[in-house]
């Protein structure tokens, strides 16, 4: 919830790393709900990207455009250009990227990366790492 209140999300790229079942899509769903996104939130595994629109909030009075990427099945670099992903990443809004390593060398560097690791008791450890001033601002905004 604290992350959903950060104005730094207005033009941020977050990458999510972890094994299958680590909770990447679940994290995205919870973040989108915290942003006020209504309706069905599905994994973009087959579509590669699912667009969402968060309603107006103090941090973004006009609403927030969110693109949720899942590059798990991504295999052809030509698809990057054909699908217009370069433009999507250049546009304002929040980009949430699962399996970013599959698009390595094509997508811009993330602002914040999240590593999700499943523990023996099924709990998760999430490690966050900032890669830019925006990423540092996001970490600052969620610090207790």
Residue-level pLDDT at 121: 92
Confidence of residue 82 (pLDDT cuts 50, 70, 90): confident
Residue-level pLDDT at 81: 80
Does residue 12 carry a pLDDT above 90? yes
Q: How many domains does the chain have?
A: 1
- The 10s digit of each residue's pLDDT in 96-136 is 999 999 888 899 999 999 999 999 998 999 999 999 999 99
Of 5-14, 51-60, 74-83, 93-102, the range with the lowest mean pLDDT is 74-83
- The mean pLDDT of the chain is 91
Q: What CA–CA distance (Å, rounded) separates 134 from 115?
A: 18
- Classify residue 15 by burial, with Cβ atoms within 10 Å: 0-12, 13-18, 19+: buried
Does residue 1 carry a pLDDT above 90? no
Confidence of residue 86 (pLDDT cuts 50, 70, 90): confident
Given a contact cutoff of 8 angstroms between Cβ atoms, the answer to whether 101 and 2 are in contact is no
Q: What is the domain-level CATH number for residue 32? A: 3.40.50.300
Given a contact cutoff of 8 angstroms between Cβ atoms, the answer to whether 138 and 12 are in contact is yes
Domain coverage including residue 100: 3-142
Query: In the 3-class helix/strand/coil scheme, how is the chain assigned residue by residue?
Result: CCHHHCHHHHHCEEEEECCCCCCHHHHHHHHHHHCCCCCCCCCCCCCCEEEEEECCECCECCCEEEEEEECCCCCCHHHHHHCCHHHHHHCCCEEEEECHHHHCCCCCCCCEEEEEEECCCCCEEEEEEECCHHHHHHHHHHCC
- The 10s digit of each residue's pLDDT in 49-69 is 999 999 999 888 999 999 999
Residue-level pLDDT at 63: 94
Given a contact cutoff of 8 angstroms between Cβ atoms, the answer to whether 36 and 54 are in contact is yes
Does residue 33 carry a pLDDT above 90? yes
Strand partners, 69: 49, 97
Mean pLDDT of 75-94: 86
Given a contact cutoff of 8 angstroms between Cβ atoms, the answer to whether 30 and 36 are in contact is no
């Amino acid at each position: 919830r604290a992350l959903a209140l950060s104005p730094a999300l207005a033009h941020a790229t977050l990458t999510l790393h972890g094994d299958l079942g680590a909770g990447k899509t679940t994290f995205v769903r919870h973040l989108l709900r915290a942003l006020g996104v209504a309706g069905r939130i599905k994994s973009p595994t087959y579509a590669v990207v699912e667009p969402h629109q968060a309603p107006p909030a103090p941090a973004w009075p006009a609403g927030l455009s969110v693109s949720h990427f899942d590059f798990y099945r991504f295999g052809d670099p030509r698809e990057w250009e054909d699908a217009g992903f370069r433009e999507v990443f250049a546009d304002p809004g929040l980009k949430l990227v699962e399996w970013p390593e599959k698009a390595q060398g094509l997508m811009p560097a993330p602002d914040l990366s999240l590593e999700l690791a499943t523990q023996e008791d099924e709990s998760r450890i999430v490690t966050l790492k900032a890669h830019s001033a925006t990423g540092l601002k996001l970490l600052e905004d969620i610090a207790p």
